[in-house]
Amino acid sequence: MIIATLLVSAQIPELTKSTVLMRERSRVEKTIRAMQHTGAGGLQVISDFDMTLTRFAHNGRRVPTTHNILDNRLLISEGCTKKMKELLNTYYPIEIDPHRTAEEKLPLMVEWWTQVHELLIEQRIRKDLLAQAVRESRAMLRDGYKVFFDHLEEQQVPLLIFSAGVGDVLEEVIQQNRVFHPNIRIISNYMDFDQAGLLRAFKGQLIHSFNKREGAMSHVAALRELQARPNVLLLGDSLGDLTVADGVAEHQNVLTIGFLNDQVEDRRESYVNAFDVVLVKDETMDVPNAVLRYITSSRGDK
């Protein structure tokens, strides 16, 4: 068995990079082997979007989240920008605070999202200007994103993107990067426009970073096709992302990969305890791509 697990490391050299942390390397290798045994046909990928599929920073500047892409004079006023920034400065430190529990954070996240959505609705955002706002933004998917999206499509592996961001903006980002393939399902906060194409509400139950399990459970019927796939590769950048897989179904093998983008020293321990694999300040999809390449390679290739 030791020889078998070592073989996995040899086949996936990306897992030996100094930016890759694992609580229990042998468990990771065993899970990857089990997933490779079933192959692409038994696999599904569940991923967060902002700061997981998108970069956290580029050239020393933060890359905007889907909410922040809406901060464009085409769509919102200067006053709205100011209020959104104040809310971000108040609530983002709470979202990533390793000393508060998810239970403590939950009501505060509801406050943040609710206030921002109310501000956006007051602005009566125009649907027809969203694509231009995305084009003008500094939105950026992680390096290696094309290999990730294209490989999943080629292997017919479903990709569920579960995001507390803004669904309409998220779709536009992946559309403009030409990777919006038919194997993708998205659960997110979608805008509701009136007949004149002006934002009047957000649809459905609010999704924030700490209610993803409940959000996933409420979509279980729509996600029935995923229940036939026992193996899950789950990608996220927040501890709240870990609960999505529980909400979808019971699984045989789940491998979780967490991007630790910010406040690394303070959060390292909690991330290593929670995710199987932690990627520290890694702006690429190299590790998920290497793991996927291994899992979906046929056993004869080994």
Using CB under 6 A as the criterion, which residues of the chain lie in contact with ligand L45E5XJ5 when the complex forms? 48-51, 65, 67-68, 88, 92, 95, 112-113, 116, 163-165, 209, 238
The answer to whether the beta carbons of residues 144 and 286 sit under 8 Å apart is yes
Q: Least CB distance from residue 181 to ligand L45E5XJ5, whole Å?
A: 19
Residue with tokens 């093998």: 253
Measured CA to CA, the distance from residue 111 to residue 215 in angstroms comes to 17
In the bound state with ligand L45E5XJ5, the residue whose beta carbon lies nearer, of 41 and 79, is 79
DSSP state of 220: T
Annotated catalytic, 50?
yes
Nearest CA to 172 among 118, 205, 128, 206?
128
The answer to whether the beta carbons of residues 151 and 293 sit under 8 Å apart is yes
Residue type, 50: D
Q: Least CB distance from residue 232 to ligand L45E5XJ5, whole Å?
A: 17
Q: Least CB distance from residue 268 to ligand L45E5XJ5, whole Å?
A: 18
Residue 207 gets the label, from left (phi > 0), alpha (psi -120 to 50) or beta, of beta
H or E element that contains 111:
helix 102-122
Annotated catalytic, 143?
no
> Which residue of the set 50, 168, 237, 241 is catalytic?
50
- Who contacts 236 (Cβ-Cβ below 8 Å, separation ≥6)? 47, 48, 52, 242, 244, 256, 257, 258, 259, 275
The answer to whether the beta carbons of residues 120 and 199 sit under 8 Å apart is yes
Q: Least CB distance from residue 118 to ligand L45E5XJ5, whole Å?
A: 11
Residue with tokens 């955002």: 125
For the chain, the distance separating the N- and C-terminal CA atoms, rounded to the nearest angstrom, is 16
In the bound state with ligand L45E5XJ5, the residue whose beta carbon lies nearer, of 47 and 289, is 47
Q: Least CB distance from residue 88 to ligand L45E5XJ5, whole Å?
A: 6
In the bound state with ligand L45E5XJ5, the residue whose beta carbon lies nearer, of 91 and 294, is 91
143: three-class secondary structure by DSSP: strand
In the bound state with ligand L45E5XJ5, the residue whose beta carbon lies nearer, of 95 and 168, is 95
Q: Least CB distance from residue 178 to ligand L45E5XJ5, whole Å?
A: 20
In the bound state with ligand L45E5XJ5, the residue whose beta carbon lies nearer, of 36 and 47, is 47
The answer to whether the beta carbons of residues 262 and 281 sit under 8 Å apart is no
In the bound state with ligand L45E5XJ5, the residue whose beta carbon lies nearer, of 48 and 286, is 48
The answer to whether the beta carbons of residues 51 and 167 sit under 8 Å apart is no
> Which residue of the set 48, 276, 282, 286 is catalytic?
48
Catalytic site positions: 48, 50
